[in-house]
Structure 1
Amino acid sequence: MFDYTVETNKSIDEAIRDLEESLKEEKFGVLWMFDIKEKLQEKGLDFRKNFKVLEVCNPHEAQRVLNENEMAGYFLPCKIVVYDNNGNTKIGMPKPTALISMLNDETLKKLAEDIENRLIGCIDKSK
């Protein structure tokens, strides 16, 4: 499966707040939060679903991955989405292992597995 996605009864803002806290525990920070609804409405498009994309990074992990294979930079930073799905909040991400598998690099695969497990832990704690 390409993604890891969970559902929560929390509001989007609560889920993001809790996600940011759990990410800090794993030394990941939110570099940027992109509010798709806001941006599309700003451009005059009718989009009503709350949908936020968080770009997250752990600098030490990014350095390890890039030192191994610079092509991995195409997948950085990691993305986590938080969005409204018919009144329920979903939190999800593309799995780092799914992305890294395109590079056919066993060392990177092991690094991606570790990062993926840690990010899944962060998502699970915040749901």
Structure 2
Amino acid sequence: MYYIVETRKSFNQASTDLELAVIHHGFGVLCVHDLGTTLRDKGIAFDEECKIFEVCNPGQAAKVLSTDMRLNMALPCRISVFTEKGNTKIGLIKPVQMLLALSQDVALAQIAKEVEEKTIQMVDEAK
């Protein structure tokens, strides 16, 4: 269900490299949520770092939405860079398993497979 890799890079370097990999693979970064900073700014003691990158390929998103508009709630894809006990990790929820849990449409499975392959390549490239 998850694809998570550990990297020797710093949290900041892995975040920068992920953003570059997203662009390199023809996707765009719609938004970056700095969850760690947000929690700390709200007065919550949170020692880890976590950035959630919302990424999208407009062509693939349009295919998903034209197949089943309800799946807008599963978009865009999210890739996270986070720390866990001093280790930097990059990960995502695999699109195939997520979309197949929401729809049994065969066309969606193919779209999700293509997106999953690309997002895993992005994670591996940023590693």
Q: TM-score, normalised by structure 1?
A: 0.94
The C-alpha deviation readout for 1:35-82, integer Å capped at 9, x for no partner, is: 111111111111111111111111111111111111221110101111
Deviant stretches of 4+, over 2 Å = none
Write out aligned runs for 1:39-118 (5 A): 39-102=38-101, 103-118=103-118
Alignment: residue pair count? 126
Q: Which moves more between the two structures, 109-118 or 35-44?
A: 35-44
Distance 1:77 1:31 in 2: 8
Letter in structure 1 aligned against 2:24: E
Which consecutive unaligned segments of at least 5 residues does structure 2 have? none
Distance 1:46 1:25 in 2: 36
CA RMSD of aligned residues (A): 1.0
Which consecutive unaligned segments of at least 5 residues does structure 1 have? none
Q: CA deviation at 1:29?
A: 1.2
Match of 1:4 in 2: 3
Taking only the aligned residue pairs, the percentage that are identical comes to 38
